[in-house]
Structure 1
């Protein structure tokens, strides 16, 4: 059973960041370019993205002792059922509002060695993370801008372990946690040509978690006024623990996305 306890903890951690893995417009390289389509002074952008992140750290479920994990992105991908990640932003002059929505579902099943306690044990984990916030450009020019940003990120993670066959046939157990973290930091963007720009950010905060941080850098290319693409690297860490649910992990890896302007 230690094997399955370890698996459940690892999967729960992976879900929180799979990307999960990982993470809002202020936390994503898919930041809108300087030149956008304007409507009554407002500019808008939507950015679906993909984060190929691995994960390392300590996790714990059901009040059991924490376990250490070191998972590559390929390990997470094998168990991934579904993932959806998208960012939206609206800007007016120096002001911006934004949101980042992430949902992931991972499941895995294993047969037991002797089948006395159970013939099979399945683990299903789901995570929702949503960030909403606002920013203000303290420095702004035709080439770039430097924004001060702040927001709230809501996390909800649940893991269910179900047994089939054997003594525990039909038994299910679920452990879950919901918390909110306040984040603050900066986002910067600089266009080196009309087509190419650099973007980066740094965020840190806490609340439900002891520490919640997020840093990244990327390079973007504009195909036209409505479509651009970005590639970069991102690292995110969180240290949360409450009532036997422990999540102290770091997720990092390359991130890719498309920016749609309208």
Structure 2
């Protein structure tokens, strides 16, 4: 997550510096897809997602030179969700298999820095690749299956702030918004965390992240919300 990479206040030496942040994000998931019989929505708790998760990996990287920074953040998850159908007795069960790949890139500029606070403004993009496989088990009607898949790019604007609470403890906040109907109808995310700085090179953070995507895929309105705790560490070099 990009917010894991906030550089310590007053730590902007001349020349390039780099930071790598592997992290674990275990969000609950809400997926909804429009069908001819109504909207099918599946809500999964954090525990459900962990049990249904097939594969996931995630990590972030930042390169900084003075006030300027370049940031990349990658998230990938593949999971299945099943529930009683919300379409009455027409179908007995609904299952949505979701594969999501999100690659975000930002250029940031530090617009404010004091002894304990640093604020970056950012602009960039997010490459979204989403595959949804919706299956409706037979009820009064025969079973149905729909495959929806699309890759698109959203423009983004955002900001990040870091607050040094003590010499070791700090808080970080991050938000972005984008899409604006050029890709997604709307996409946004927020993140907040507390962290501990072991030394100039190593730190760890834990917090909460929420990502929302609204998009029309293959003529059907689709919404995906990812919402849950995140834990990661950062090494700078």
TM above 0.5, yes or no, is: yes
- Counterparts of residues 149-228 of structure 1 (less than 5 Å): 149-159=122-132, 174-206=147-179, 207-228=182-203
Distance 1:211 1:108 in 2: 24
Tell me whether 1:47 sits opposite 2:47 in the alignment. no
* SS of residue in 2 equivalent to 1:225: coil
C-alpha contact (below 8 Å) 2:12/2:67 kept by paired residues: no
CA-CA distance at 1:80 after TM superposition: 1.0
What is the match of residue 13 of structure 1?
none
- Counterparts of residues 238-253 of structure 1 (less than 5 Å): 238-253=213-228
- Counterparts of residues 69-108 of structure 1 (less than 5 Å): 69-106=42-79
Higher strand share: 2
What is the match of residue 232 of structure 1?
207
CA-CA distance at 1:217 after TM superposition: 1.1
User: Any gaps of 5 or more consecutive residues in structure 2?
Assistant: 83-94, 136-144
User: Any gaps of 5 or more consecutive residues in structure 1?
Assistant: 1-23, 110-121, 163-171
Distance 2:10 2:127 in 1: 31
Distance 1:79 1:60 in 2: 23
CA-CA distance at 1:144 after TM superposition: 2.4
Residue-pair matches, total: 216
Change (3 A) 1:69 1:159: closer
What is the TM-score of this pair, normalised by structure 2? 0.79
> Per-residue displacement from partner, 1:10-52 (whole Å, max 9, x unpaired)?
xxxxxxxxxxxxxx41xx44534337696x6222111111112
Cα RMSD (Å):
2.9
What is the TM-score of this pair, normalised by structure 1? 0.72
CA-CA distance at 1:231 after TM superposition: 0.8
Higher helix share: 1
Distance 2:38 2:160 in 1: 38
C-alpha contact (below 8 Å) 1:233/1:253 kept by paired residues: yes
> Per-residue displacement from partner, 1:111-137 (whole Å, max 9, x unpaired)?
xxxxxxxxxxx9764322101110111
Distance 2:99 2:26 in 1: 18
Tell me whether 1:56 sits opposite 2:30 in the alignment. yes
CA-CA distance at 1:241 after TM superposition: 1.1
